[in-house]
Structure 1
């Protein structure tokens, strides 16, 4: 999706609401009315927003924040801007600037105040926030996600007066803060707004816990994974999600965040405490196989909601979960209740990636950039195996732009996965529209998800022109086209499964995770929670809205799933019977007693792990039941071990992965390739390369690793050879020295 830089906002001309005038006072004596650690005071830094530097004569900065769904602002709400103003130019007889400029402060385009800037150095501007906006409820924004944008516009037009040599710099400090006293109200329970209010992106963190039955069926756990993947996609990963069971849920878990309850209606005792729109499903469903989705206020914390994904049967629960993962719920007479009779995913026309795709075919409309300086748009696209190494890829950018630009300084740069692939200067000739082709080298592409970034640097013909979107713009037309030649095909070409390529191949299906089966132990709640974290992360990285993974218990994986699905196996080896069937295919065999890996086909990495060590490890290899499918095992010597291994897949530590085996100890990752060499095929660069890890084990892991039966024979042979070479070198040096001494004149 394109993410252009926020549009520059012109000086507002609308009438400001009736609020007290802004005041400017020295920062040292500004009265702080609330404790900075209070939950009503939020600094820009706390909200993840950075300090902004603005330059005259005209500049703009925007700060976006969100209000929790259960807040309504009351009188006393305000924004307090800590400013630093620097000025060079004419001054009054007192040495102070006669006039610097003004600062327009607006909220969602509504002007709040215009502040006169006549003080250099540090100062604080306090601007009251209105509790009601036109077209909105009290303390609420008109945007569906309840987020607001505070804009700050610097106007110093005197810098453009003839004969005036002056410059203004204004810094908005990260200590600037929103003071938000509020009253609490019930959060909305409207399924049509999902993922809101579970995902709010507000000043408060988004937290949710998935609750499943104590003894769930595979279908109920599958539904939980489906919901986790769906919320990973809908939230972009900006949700702290965990999973527990009905009886294991603590009061702290139930009260500290939103609840997502998944399972059959008669297997979840905690539902008795929730006031549901339809406590009896047979009163609203037409058949036992229907799914039901309900949204209610949580009884453990009325600031949060409980999303109930249920049914009378396993089939109904899975249907309800898939509907939630799609993010679009069709309700009936009540907005807090939906009955799901059937889920019909809209499949793409082809499950493969076409050679040529326009931005329009990728779902993008025209992108307009109109800010002074750097504007950025990003587009995600997927590359199939073989396409990453096929020559001849290119991107054709179709664009036009305003003629009101400084053509000596304005230009465009294009990159793929942060590697520059092209650029051009903007000229009067290109203003009417051009198409420019830029070659994409194979080194810039990777299998799986890729990012195309277009940066337009726009400088107006005159810096004294007011910021106005009507005369400063650059457009990326949807006819712009990406060309990715197909790679080698045929039954003789097999995909290479490598940890460095994760999440490939789990995101290659036309529907999110449709080709993936999660495999867990039937009595391992920690393993279920770990699998949910992986599903959430895969959903975050996926491109499709509706999720459709399958899940099986490790002792009951049917033949059609083994042959037809990529397998993602999570847990302790001693609880996963399917690993016995994979023994001959594993890069590193697993000790039946300790559950630790024992590489058997490569003496270089033949080691013995001491019992009692908490260690996680990952293995990725070709399925013995289908050469075109992968198996990824996320295992550990204990629950903490395989949880560490999963964390490696879901954090930047993933950039350390490569090969088919990785040991994980805390934040240390030791990765290598063991066993038989994979089929020859160029390997794409890892998605998140952090650093290159050498094959030898680090010293900090030496306490956990010890060579069995002494040193391997090849080490002793190497020692003897090196020692022999050293002796020969010493003898030669001695002989040369004796000859020099016996030579006259030396």
Structure 2
């Protein structure tokens, strides 16, 4: 069980300084990731405003209110003495007793400013006006107070004089406020126990980037390993990030020095690895010093980059393809146990989701071993529960949860609530009332299609706010109790085919392919020599990991001319590449919503009411979705184009939010900016 809490004080929202991610046309997620701010960094000095971190104006109200801002610095930075905070704020004071307060020169409103829990200063906020105040940051405030390494600025507004006099006060913290920080450069900490750091730091003020590097002529198992590693990082980071997959030849000197690098493949494919100071060095394409007992093990290593000491290098490999697969599966869990130092791990075996999960139709959280949980504090808190189900339970239409809870009476009713999430999808919200202060049982029906075969994640998230009151001294600490008598009823269904409850439509991507908790029913079908297609598959793998928060990734990869019968019969397939480069497309061409003409790689649009002639030299991308002809319970998605650039356009449509939102039906064609969509059963474009 995972329990999280974001502490927020009376009527406030935590201002998480997360960069906003915008997307542009590209076949690489790195180019798609464009932070909307610029940090001024010169001579070991970083200057950035609150607005640079995406923080807007924040109002604090009397008698008591507060707000917080969190950020990270790059993994090779350590804050140095001499930094400062300049706070810009407005104060408005009103009320019948305002004149009396001014006449008696009473001061009763203050701002208390803390950085990493160290008080920087207390300033008066008792008179209407605009103010600028600088705070020197002392040495004892330079070290983060949070376990995750993020720095936190907290501002408390104490205006309890309004409890004695008829006064109302509002302080507006302005986004023009800024930090001016000095730092020293040091080597980032290389430690598997800190993953996803140093490859990713939450709320970093400086955008970072990662390249997953695969061989130029990879075996399908090497690409498969890369997809599973990428999915694992998507689950760990759980956010959009500059995370791309490229082939080795594309790793020029600039990319090598500007990115964290993750090499995935046998060591003989990467000659530059001999320059990296791994604990188990690579010489002439071979590992040196691997213990005999670990000769068949997967090998995971990290080291500092020899091309940029502020960046990290990871190697996911082994002495054989089987060993490489073990290393990649282990890496996808995000939980790497390094017994021989913090930067080296051997993986001897991997176990996957069993095919014979027993059917348990009714159980409580107590049956799963979970205690009764108390979520406390103003703001947002959550608690996670994980459980497993069989395939026969996934498609049930009668499943429900009886959520048993109760809470304190110190809440602001109408603005406090709890929400129920299953596998990242919210499907119920209940607003707290005086009646729910007593033991309450809320029955919530589970919508079909939300459950997954294997592991499922149930999250109870509370949003508890209070109305500041002069009847209470200080901040109120409300609580919500989630009882372990909460019951889940998940009956088996006679017909366990998801096809009976899932409507195949491009608008439901990626959910159509995430019905298994480890993605073990999904296979990528790729060209043997198309790095653009490999990169798109990497981006989709990252998205799958982000969408599912998986514990282990079991994606498969095959080339388009060698797809085993067992894969055709038992897996959904995502085919990426130009039609002429993938022989398998020829096999299913007549069953596609828009069959391809292999003379020019264009798709027929005869089922649309209006078809446009594609000018010579114009690249277009195609997306086609169909029920697998080998298994009606699985799906096939074709991501293709009339050129390599067209394939990139099609992949971008799936990954760029404003284009993805336009998808509908089972067929789409795009030139990169416009999309036409259609349904195989309709004569009209949707």
TM-score normalised by L of structure 2: 0.83
Task: Count residues with an aligned counterpart.
Answer: 640
The Cα of 1:404 is off from its aligned counterpart by 4.4
SS at match of 2:265: strand
Output aligned runs, 1:643-658, within 5 Å. 643-652=648-657, 653-658=659-664
Give the whole-Å Cα distance in 1 for the aligned partners of 2:369 and 2:560: 38
In structure 1, what is the equivalent of residue 21 of structure 2? none
In structure 2, what is the equivalent of residue 101 of structure 1? 109
1:186 to 1:489, Cα distance in 2 relative to 1, 3 A: same
Instruction: State yes or no: 1:123 paired with 2:131.
Output: yes
Conserved in 2, the CA contact under 8 Å of 1:97 and 1:118?
no
Give the whole-Å Cα distance in 1 for the aligned partners of 2:679 and 2:564: 30
In structure 2, what is the equivalent of residue 630 of structure 1? 635
The Cα of 1:101 is off from its aligned counterpart by 1.2
SS at match of 1:174: coil
1:320 to 1:149, Cα distance in 2 relative to 1, 3 A: same
Output aligned runs, 1:581-660, within 5 Å. 581-599=587-605, 602=607, 604=609, 609-652=614-657, 653-660=659-666
Instruction: State yes or no: 1:518 paired with 2:521.
Output: no
In structure 2, what is the equivalent of residue 145 of structure 1? 148
Give the whole-Å Cα distance in 1 for the aligned partners of 2:520 and 2:411: 49
In structure 1, what is the equivalent of residue 25 of structure 2? none
1:458 to 1:507, Cα distance in 2 relative to 1, 3 A: same
The Cα of 1:37 is off from its aligned counterpart by 6.8
In structure 1, what is the equivalent of residue 339 of structure 2? 332
Conserved in 1, the CA contact under 8 Å of 2:395 and 2:496?
no
Conserved in 2, the CA contact under 8 Å of 1:393 and 1:441?
yes
Give the whole-Å Cα distance in 1 for the aligned partners of 2:189 and 2:354: 32
SS at match of 2:632: strand
Give the whole-Å Cα distance in 1 for the aligned partners of 2:251 and 2:103: 67
The Cα of 1:385 is off from its aligned counterpart by 10
Conserved in 2, the CA contact under 8 Å of 1:585 and 1:623?
no
In structure 2, what is the equivalent of residue 58 of structure 1? 64
Give the whole-Å Cα distance in 1 for the aligned partners of 2:538 and 2:266: 18
Conserved in 1, the CA contact under 8 Å of 2:506 and 2:625?
yes
Unaligned runs of 5+ in 1: 11-33, 134-138, 678-693, 698-746
Candidates 314, 322, 333, aligned match of 2:329: 322
The Cα of 1:667 is off from its aligned counterpart by 3.6
Conserved in 1, the CA contact under 8 Å of 2:395 and 2:498?
no
Instruction: State yes or no: 1:245 paired with 2:251.
Output: no
Give the whole-Å Cα distance in 1 for the aligned partners of 2:515 and 2:58: 40
Give the whole-Å Cα distance in 1 for the aligned partners of 2:673 and 2:545: 24
Conserved in 2, the CA contact under 8 Å of 1:659 and 1:672?
yes
Give the whole-Å Cα distance in 2 for the aligned partners of 1:103 and 1:384: 55
Give the whole-Å Cα distance in 1 for the aligned partners of 2:332 and 2:39: 40
My pick for the range that moved more, 100-109 or 288-297, is: 100-109
Candidates 539, 542, 547, aligned match of 2:553: 547
The Cα of 1:158 is off from its aligned counterpart by 0.8
In structure 1, what is the equivalent of residue 206 of structure 2? 204
Instruction: State yes or no: 1:158 paired with 2:161.
Output: yes
1:289 to 1:496, Cα distance in 2 relative to 1, 3 A: farther
SS at match of 1:635: strand
Show CA shifts across 1:266-292 (max 9, x none): 110121222222114351243543211
In structure 2, what is the equivalent of residue 168 of structure 1? 169
SS at match of 2:53: coil
Conserved in 1, the CA contact under 8 Å of 2:506 and 2:666?
yes
Give the whole-Å Cα distance in 1 for the aligned partners of 2:371 and 2:591: 43
The Cα of 1:171 is off from its aligned counterpart by 1.1
SS at match of 1:294: strand
Output aligned runs, 1:232-631, within 5 Å. 232-280=234-282, 281-285=287-291, 286-345=293-352, 350=357, 358=365, 361=368, 366-371=373-378, 375=380, 377=382, 394-404=400-410, 412=417, 414=419, 422-427=430-435, 430-431=436-437, 433-440=438-445, 455-459=462-466, 462-470=469-477, 472-481=478-487, 483=489, 489=495, 494=500, 496-511=503-518, 513-599=519-605, 602=607, 604=609, 609-631=614-636
My pick for the range that moved more, 142-151 or 358-367, is: 358-367
In structure 2, what is the equivalent of residue 737 of structure 1? none
Conserved in 1, the CA contact under 8 Å of 2:415 and 2:431?
no
1:37 to 1:95, Cα distance in 2 relative to 1, 3 A: farther
Give the whole-Å Cα distance in 1 for the aligned partners of 2:4 and 2:367: 15
1:523 to 1:352, Cα distance in 2 relative to 1, 3 A: farther
The Cα of 1:209 is off from its aligned counterpart by 0.6
1:166 to 1:392, Cα distance in 2 relative to 1, 3 A: farther
The Cα of 1:129 is off from its aligned counterpart by 2.5
Conserved in 2, the CA contact under 8 Å of 1:69 and 1:146?
no
Give the whole-Å Cα distance in 1 for the aligned partners of 2:212 and 2:443: 47
My pick for the range that moved more, 661-670 or 333-342, is: 661-670
The Cα of 1:481 is off from its aligned counterpart by 4.3
Conserved in 2, the CA contact under 8 Å of 1:410 and 1:425?
no
Conserved in 2, the CA contact under 8 Å of 1:369 and 1:375?
no
SS at match of 1:255: helix
Conserved in 1, the CA contact under 8 Å of 2:579 and 2:586?
no
Give the whole-Å Cα distance in 1 for the aligned partners of 2:623 and 2:391: 22
In structure 2, what is the equivalent of residue 19 of structure 1? none
The Cα of 1:528 is off from its aligned counterpart by 0.8
The Cα of 1:398 is off from its aligned counterpart by 2.5
Q: Which has the larger radius of gyration?
A: 1
The Cα of 1:464 is off from its aligned counterpart by 4.7
Give the whole-Å Cα distance in 2 for the aligned partners of 1:175 and 1:492: 52
1:225 to 1:351, Cα distance in 2 relative to 1, 3 A: farther
Give the whole-Å Cα distance in 2 for the aligned partners of 1:596 and 1:181: 57
Show CA shifts across 1:524-559 (max 9, x none): 111111111111111111132211211111112222
The Cα of 1:204 is off from its aligned counterpart by 1.4
Unaligned runs of 5+ in 2: 12-37
Give the whole-Å Cα distance in 2 for the aligned partners of 1:387 and 1:57: 52
Give the whole-Å Cα distance in 2 for the aligned partners of 1:104 and 1:232: 38
Output aligned runs, 1:655-670, within 5 Å. 655-670=661-676
The Cα of 1:367 is off from its aligned counterpart by 4.7
In structure 1, what is the equivalent of residue 19 of structure 2? none
The Cα of 1:462 is off from its aligned counterpart by 3.1
The Cα of 1:648 is off from its aligned counterpart by 2.4
The Cα of 1:467 is off from its aligned counterpart by 3.5
Conserved in 1, the CA contact under 8 Å of 2:120 and 2:135?
yes
